Structure 1
Amino acid sequence: MGKHRLEPMFNPQGVAVFGASERPGAVGTMVLTNLIEAGYTGAIVPVNPKHDTVQGLPCRPDLVHLDQPVDLAVIATPAESVPGILRQCGLAGVMSAVILSAGFGEGGGGTGNGKRLQRECLEIAQQFNIRLLGPNCLGIMRPGIGLNATFSHNQALPGNLALVSQSGALVTAVLDWAQSRGVGFSAIVSTGDAADLDFGDLLDYLALDPQTTGILLYIEGIRDARHFLTGLRAAARMKPVIVLKSARHAAGSRAAATHTGALIGGDDVFDAALTRAGVVRVERITQWFSAAQILASGLHLPGDQLLILTNGGGPGVMATDRAADLDVPLATLAPETIAALDQVLPPTWSHGNPVDIIGDATAERYADSVRLCLADPGVHMLIVMLTPQAMTDPTACARAVIEQAQKQTRPAKPVLVCWMGEGLVRAARDLFDAAGIPQFRSPETAVEALSYVLAHKRNQQVLMQTPGPLAPAAASDIEGARLILAAARSAGRRVLTTRESKAVLNAFHIPTTPTVLVRDADEAMLAAESLGFPVALKISAPALTHKTDVGGVRLNVRSVQTARQQVQEMLNTVRSAHPDVDIEGVTIERMAEVGHARELLIGVARDPVFGPVIAFGMGGVAVEVMRDRAMALPPLNAVLIDRLIQNTKAARMLGQFRDAPPVVAHGVERVLMRISELVCELPEVAAIDINPLLAGESGVIAVDARIELTERVSVLDRYAHLAIHPYPAHFVRSWTLDDGRTIMLRPIRPEDAEIEQQFVRGLSEETRYLRFMRVLDELSREMLVRFTQIDYDREMAFIALYTPPSGEEIEIGVTRYSLEPDGETAEFALVVADEWHGHGVGSHLLEALVDYARQRGVRELVGEVLLRNANMRKLCAGLGFTERLVGNDEDIVRISRRL
């Protein structure tokens, strides 16, 4: 793997400080002081034409004829001087810069001159391939190498937590908190206005950083959702990420024109994005600190069953209540454990969880209780609490708990403590900090801290699942749907009629009720009689979103006479109340019969940051009152759809209850899968409302539908509207062999986990060794997830499939590339099943990979091949790859091709 683009910033050989001085309070003074006092061992080069020396170091007027290695420039000069400094850095070969200066029109305000300066800085940086942090930021710290390139008054301790924050002020608060608790950091980054480097870039680096085991993010806003989520998902697959976001109640994506829009706010969408990425979110700074303390302790959770041990009943109840609030399950003590506790506790102990060991508990009683509870196999984690009472020695009890926690065999069960009070427990807290045991000041915060670790574990389980195979499905008529949308736009409309909306849904095989439009009461009689009774009558006027609110809905109409009368009354009423609205007429539909119908809502709204979001919940006329909804970002798969449904109250209605049989198997799931496909393939769609979607034991059907179009559509990237790159279904190819067999080539998907495993198992030992360069019988679960759950925005894998007469797909070859940290090079691999050698499978796969990589902007494909792998070397040579030996290793050659 190549060197990451941000390596010069995080691990520089030398640092130049522009604006270094000795003037008290000056930013340049503080930065240089911090570098010296932090013990940075690389070259420190003060740059200031007004001084010969600064703080005891030789000072240069510029970087011309630089004779020391400098990778990082820290700029603390007025904004007007920064472009010239960056040009100077570029000529001197400096690869990264931190711009501390303000005055660039930050925050969307400022002067036009500030924005111009920022654009000029970016142009110069791109010209010289310099990566910029800031402007208007606190700077960067790398405590492990003594790098403190900030103007903070704090020095950070070395550790394994990385902190990335849009707020410099918050960074200083975290540092102050961390110092008092002995929490260290692998890196601290203040992004400032993020003109160049943003969360996505920084997460991409920290995901691979061996010094970082956990990441804390403070976010105020996201500029590039795709880049952010790509980096976040990559990081979350490798290490815990905990997010604190401000402005939780911003209106964001609210669009009251639709039911879905009225239910969704910007913060809801942000939550959906974080859930999709497998990270944990907290709401308050205190919770963030608690989460940081847990991360710093490196806790391992063998399960999710919590035991609470206390010497006071009240705190135990408080902890229990908070556990119930956060869905943290309480452990049930084994009978053997209860019997053992009976031998060491007073008869009046609680005999359950919480384990109340009574107010006069001694250190010995704490030690015995903790030891016995930790030995219970049904207890996975422990919160030990103490209230300082007259007969209690908090310090001695603390020593007892620490001793028992440290006596455990590895991996140890987590032990958290809550010694309540201040002066009487201060010494005990110091002991806990020194022992590395997370300690909290209230029962609630202790439980919350564990809930974050549990939430992370649960999200990771969803993130790392391998969904089962997809059931065969009829192809959607995407082009037909696009023609319907284009016709509406050509007519000057952005809101489709009910009939048009249902036609688009039908194109994606979403069942709808047949709809007939009538202009007057006489036409209504004929239509109703033709459809068959009972029927539903609905006003057709795209500008009237909620038909029920204007008297535009009649249900269960059972005769011709009633249909004629009610259509005329409806037209008269609506036209009188809304004389300026264009009314097409009335739609007549046969009443849907699905058996014991449940009314559901499926909707789509467009968030200004994350793009389309899919909502699901209970539907009907009271949907805004019920406010039962869950959200997810497309694209969806079976696992994500199941989680989306289970996060609603509506989920409980889909099974059997009272006299209602369960909803038809997988009916709702199939509709959600099709909606996901529709959203991905039709960027013109801004909003969808299917309300109600009726679901019963005999089927699922969309009774009413509304689709709204965007103002304009980008044609440069078919998936530019999505925050997560979907499965590129359009990149499917097939060819026929000389013997008549047809081979299909398509991108891999998570549902291919089983056939991928079977493919690797079926390879000969020699072929497996040539591919993986080590002995391997089958893919581990982690490898299987990594190989099938790919991020199509930064990697690709194509598989070749043969379907024999039995009808079961067989994988016969696979090729893949993964973008390297430089953002321009991709490492690739290729393997073909032994019995399919010599049929051109490898050539087709590699040609498809080269074509896709070129389209995605990859400049070079590289790979390593064993020297003895003659077939692979010959294949690559025929496709324009060149090769050379790798260093001193005579067994491996590096093959590459410029694209």
Structure 2
Amino acid sequence: MSTYRLSSIFKPRSVAVVGSQSRPRSVGRAVVNNLLASGFSGPIGLVNRHPPAWEGVTTVRHLRELPWTPDLVVIATPADTVPALAAEAAEKGAGAVVVLTAAMGHGPGSPAARLQALTREKGLRVLGPNCLGVIAPHARLNASLASRFPKAGDLALISQSGAISGGLVEWSMSQPVGFSAVVSLGDALDVDFADLLDYFATDHRTRAILLYVEAIRDARKFMSAARAAARTKPVVVVKSGHGAATLATPAGSTHTQNLARPSAVYGAAFRRAGLLRVRSLDELFAAARTLGQVRPFPGRRLAILTNGGGVGALSVDHLHLLGGTLADLSDGTRHVLDGILPVGWSRTNPVDLLTDIDAERYAATIETLLDDPANDALLAVNVPTVLSSSVEAAEAVANVLRRRPAHGRRKPVFTVWLGNDPQAEAILDAAQVPRYPSESDAVAGFMHLVRHREVQAALMETPPSLPEDFSADVATARALVDAALDAGQTWLDPLATTQLLAAYGIPMAPLWRAGDPEQAVRLAAPLLAQGATVAVKILSPDIPHKSDVDGVRLNLPNETAVREAASGILRRARERRPDARIEGVLVQPTVQRPKARELIAGIADDPVFGPVIAFGRGGTAVEVINDQAVALPPLDLRLAHELIARTRVSRVLKAYRDVPAADERAVALVLVKLAQLAADIPEILQLDINPLLADRDGVIAVDARIAVARDRRLHKGRGHPRFAIFPYPKEWERTLTLGDGQTVQVRPVKPEDDAMFREFFTHVTHEDLRLRFFQAVKHFSHEFIARLTQLDYARSIALVAVYPGTHDMLGAVRLHADANYEKGEYGILVRSDLKGHGIGWQLMRIMIEYAQWQGLKVIEGQVLRENRTMLAMCEQLGFKVHPDPDDPTLMNVSLPVAAAT
């Protein structure tokens, strides 16, 4: 449902509380007390069988007896009574209920199941059950069990834990931060993380969003909402459960599967969505403090000012530990400071003022550092001494910042005032200067903002495209997997595995199957005759890791060695795994690449996020070394390189000593191809390439395993049944014939279309650009183009018409669905020199067809009143056209999708 009726939770005009209020420690009484204490201005109703007299509120025995309709109903009654009370609230016309009741059970027939069914039938929004409630300080609403009412501010907190919500509220009382809302999700039968991310992403009172996550249920819905929110404002998340071992997978799982731990997968999801992940509540508090006072800024170079050399050194250590950059001092700044500071100052960053600095020189130093273009932010650390005043130093900081321009970009200043001087702290708080209890906290706050900025930049980056000549043989891969499934196999045959990888351009050393030692000798003979050596490996669908039964022999130089190796391997396998099906041995030429790095690459299956691409250090000790990273598909080359860079093994892919650099691009291509394979064949459950050898000549897979299973759907509706991120919708590629007989290709926009869009805009007149964007557009920034090409296909589609062969862009149409997937807003633009060829008409028809496929109810748009050509086309397509009530220059157009033909 997303944002539907959420205003009833955060901006209710009236509230009713259902539950006992007579007992002093009852939940209902606590909520009523909080509502009254918060100063809620609307009507408050108390519903109870024996309602007590309560001044200033309405008391009734039943909800239906209230003389007015409550927007929000808070329920704190026994579990069995909750569904009926919620139904009564819906009949009364309430928009939402907050259910504080716990232990409502699970499964068919439980109170929780009955409540969930009711929400879908009546359209009633439910927060909870088993939650702390909701706080909306700007609405003077405290419909919760929190012990304090926080200050109004611009941080929204969404937590699955009521204890975390209450703790953050308590912590905020002594901090210069405030909240736009505090929400406890509880069991989240209806309202979930995605709904609230959608809501707060567009809430003008919310500047940043804080999340405490225990588990995500609907990964695709969460990822779509999180990516949309992160593009507009900072989203910080802390996830409990770092210590979870491995996924609950069968005993025969691959190395890749065992390495894709839940915490790593969640981290990959948060990173892909553009969220800033922190590891503890302390970090979340620090992030809340920073985001509540400092707006994101460009750059990552930190200048440090201190009157204590040791504290300055510790600040630098922590900055390096977190991956920050220590700013240089420009020559001009050093020259100015030489004239301000006494002989003996550090003359480098950190700027050590010595211990007897006075307020005037302190202020002058801050002014100089803020004016220095060689840094992006300033950290001021003050240590109390008998020779200098902490209060005067705080006044110096405040006065400097007051004198600087209030408008435009202000370089942020972070402060640490050791010694707990209340007067100094009050001065900094009054000046809205962020202060921290220690230098490590301050540096962490600085890095939170740096990382947020970098995440935003990554969301807008344009990745390089895949080679034009790469084309996967999907039909062959599909046939191999279908044949295995039809035969009842759960693991692909080794020969089929080699063929499937070849279908996606992933080279693998050839192999042959031998039923006994003598056949192994015959298969190896041609290789041995050429002077090559061979490898012999156990062949069994029940032995996933060959080394477990000592089932591998390498570098065998002659027939005798091959015969003895095959005999020994088969004997040991039968002795150690008498239950296993032994089908023989595999014979392979020994891959001789002495300076290659052993890597692992593959596909794992996560029960929440579906297919996951994993990469890391390979070999027999892969799980002991534990050097891996994971990413959610689909991938492009930029994301693949970023995945590689998050491992330690990435360092040895570079050149060192007499070892040439490995072909990292070839490694990245393998990861992109695996992601494409996961997109094309959802039945691939696990895939393990170990080792994948990489050197300067490229890559080759030495061993691989592929597990398959019938399609196990994670997500309802359109698109890939298992991907958490909606992949490129290839099914919307079309070939059209225009009125003049020319053939054009229509396809969804891709992230790498940046250059194509830039060239397209050179063929559009300034007047046509004004008609499309409602203003003159003279400069196409990277961010502007990225917003057109970086799409979340779960919510948006943009279709471009291009000439086959040249890929010259003729026009584009886009449709963006609202958070409730009911309405879609469209936009269209055609090259000015190609008007009259029917391109716009064809694109609009495909866009309408897409809206029907997506299940939208209405397509809407705004058109300048003077744009008669567009208005006429809309009328011909069946759109209703009417004036915009708020802007006389605009016309609103709308089309009921079901009625479109």
**Paired residue type of 2:843:** L
Q: Which runs of 5+ in 2 are unaligned?
A: none
Deviates more, 1:831-840 or 1:245-254: 831-840
Amino acid in structure 2 at the alignment position of 1:579: P
Is 1:89 the equivalent of 2:89? Answer: yes
Kindly report the root-mean-square deviation, in angstroms, between the aligned alpha carbons of the 2 structures: 2.5
Of the structure 1 ranges 17-26 and 668-677, higher mean CA displacement relative to structure 2 is found in 17-26
The match for 1:297 is: 293
Partner of 1:249: 243
Q: Could you report, residue by residue, the CA deviation over 1:596-633 in whole angstroms, capped at 9, with x for unpaired residues?
A: 32221112211222222111122222322332222111
Specify the code of the residue in structure 2 equivalent to 1:629: Q
Give matches, 1:92-103, under 5 Å: 92-103=92-103
- Counterpart residue number, 2:742: 741
Compute the displacement of 1:527 (Å): 2.1
Deviations 1:560-599 (A, max 9, x none): 4433443333333333333332122222223346683222
Partner of 2:377: 381
Pairs within 5 Å for 1:58-207: 58-64=58-64, 68=68, 70-105=70-105, 116-207=110-201
Give me the whole-angstrom Cα distance separating, in 1, the residues matched to 2:3 and 2:454.
33
Counterpart in the other structure of 1:670: 669
Instruction: Spell out, residue by residue over 1:69-127, the C-alpha distance to the aligned partner (whole angstroms, 9 max, x if none).
Output: 5322222233333222222222222222211222312xx6xxx79x6211211222222
Deviation of the 1:186 alpha carbon: 1.0
**Are the counterparts in 2 of residues 731 and 746 from structure 1 also a CA contact under 8 Å?**
yes
Residues 252 and 267, structure 1, Cα contact 8 Å, conserved in 2: no
**Cα distance in 1 between the residues matched to 2:582 and 2:896:** 62
1:526-561 deviation digits (Å, cap 9, x = unpaired): 322345523322221122222234222222333344
Q: CA deviation at 1:316?
A: 1.9
Match of 1:861 among 859, 862, 866: 859
Q: Deviations over 1:119-173 (max 9, x none)?
A: 2112222222111111111111221121222122211211111111111122222
The equivalent of 1:795 in structure 2 is: 796
**Cα distance in structure 2, aligned partners of 1:136 and 1:793:** 31
Amino acid at match of 2:269: A
Instruction: Name the counterpart of 1:286.
Output: 282
Give the TM-score, by structure 2 length: 0.93
Asked if the contact 2:19/2:48 (under 8 Å) is kept, the reply is yes
Cα displacement string for residues 712-762 of structure 1 (whole angstroms, at most 9, x for unaligned residues): 533975512111111112321213446553211111111112212332332
- Out of 808, 811, 816, the position equivalent to 1:810 is 808
CA, structure 1 residues 127+510, in 2 after alignment: closer, same or farther (shift >3 Å)?
same
Hey, what's the Cα distance between the residues in 2 that align with 1:580 and 1:19?
A: 61
Which residues in structure 2 correspond to 1:205-220 (within 5 Å)? 205-220=199-214
What's the counterpart of residue 413 of structure 2? 415
Q: How many residues align?
A: 887
Q: How does 1:471-510 map to 2 (within 5 A)?
A: 471-510=467-506
Residues 168 and 192 in structure 1, CA contact (< 8 A), matched pair in contact too: yes
Q: Verify the 8 A CA contact 2:16 2:47 in the aligned structure 1.
A: yes
Q: Given the alignment, which residue of 309, 318, 321 partners 2:317?
A: 321
1-structure distance, mates of 2:589, 2:86: 70
SS at match of 1:163: strand
Q: Which of 327, 349, 352 is the aligned partner of 1:353?
A: 349
* Pairing 1:726–2:727 present: yes
Q: Give the Cα separation in 2 of the matches to 1:93 and 1:205.
A: 22
Structure 1 counterpart of 2:37: 37
Q: Deviations over 1:353-394 (max 9, x none)?
A: 222222334334432332332232212222222222233322
DSSP-derived class of the 1:662 partner: coil
* Contact 1:258–1:689 under 8 Å retained in 2: yes
Aligned counterparts of 2:496 and 2:754: Cα–Cα separation in 1: 39
TM-aligned CA deviation for residue 348 of structure 1: 3.1
Equivalent residue runs for 1:244-283 within 5 Å? 244-253=238-247, 255=249, 257-283=253-279
The answer to whether the 8 A contact 2:817-2:825 is kept is yes
Is 1:604 the counterpart of 2:603? The answer is yes
Q: Displacement of 1:37 after TM fit?
A: 2.6
Go from structure 1 to structure 2 and tell me whether the alpha carbon gap of 1:604 and 1:393 turns closer, same or farther (over 3 Å shift): same
- C-alpha displacement at 1:319, in angstroms? 1.6
User: How far off its partner does 1:664 sit?
Assistant: 3.7
Q: 2:739 touches 2:838 (CA, 8 Å); kept in 1?
A: no
Tell me the residue number matched to 2:680: 681
CA distance in 2, matches of 1:766, 1:326: 49
Separation of aligned partners in 1, 2:513 and 2:719: 34
Please tell me whether the aligned partners of residues 495 and 708 of structure 1 are also in contact (alpha carbons under 8 angstroms). yes
Q: Which secondary structure does the structure 1 equivalent of 2:713 belong to? A: coil
Change (3 A) 1:577 1:176: closer
Counterparts of 1:842 and 1:475 in 2: how far apart (Å)?
Answer: 30
CA distance in structure 2 between the aligned counterparts of 1:402 and 1:97, rounded to whole angstroms: 46
Match of 1:224 among 204, 218, 222: 218
Contact 2:509 2:589 survives alignment (8 Å): yes
SS of corresponding position for 2:585: strand
Q: How does 1:433-582 map to 2 (within 5 A)?
A: 433-531=429-527, 532=530, 533-582=532-581
Looking at structure 1, the residues matched to 664 and 820 of structure 2 have their Cα atoms a distance apart, in angstroms, of: 47
Aligned pair 1:26/2:21, yes or no?
A: no
When structure 1 is superposed on structure 2, of 205-214 and 365-374 the one drifting more is: 365-374
Identity over aligned pairs, percent: 38
Q: Out of 64-73 and 690-699, give the one that drifted further.
A: 64-73
| 3-state SS, counterpart of residue 743 of structure 1 | strand
* Aligned counterparts of 1:576 and 1:120: Cα–Cα separation in 2: 56
- The alpha carbon displacement at 1:67 in A equals 5.4
Indicate how the Cα distance of structure 1 residues 870 and 348 shifts in structure 2: closer, same or farther if over 3 A, else same: closer
Paired with 1:595 and 1:693, the residues of 2 have a C-alpha distance of: 13
Residue 310, structure 1, aligned to residue 306, structure 2: yes
The match for 2:693 is: 694
Please report how far the alpha carbon of residue 818 of structure 1 lies from its aligned counterpart in structure 2 after TM superposition: 1.1
The answer as to whether partners of 1:462 and 1:639 remain within 8 angstroms in 2 is no
CA distance in 2, matches of 1:153, 1:570: 68
Which deviates the most, 480-489 or 733-742?
733-742
Whether contact under 8 Å (1:381, 1:414) holds in the other structure is yes
Contact 1:831 1:842 in 2 (8 A): yes
Secondary structure at the counterpart of residue 732 of structure 2: coil
Write the deviation string for residues 783-804 of structure 1: whole angstroms up to 9, x where unpaired.
322221111112211111113x
Equivalent position SS for 1:808: coil
Work out the CA distance in 2 between the residues paired with 1:555 and 1:673: 30
Task: Give distance in 2, aligned partners of 1:646 and 1:652.
Answer: 8
Tell me the amino acid that sits aligned with residue 409 of structure 2.
Answer: P
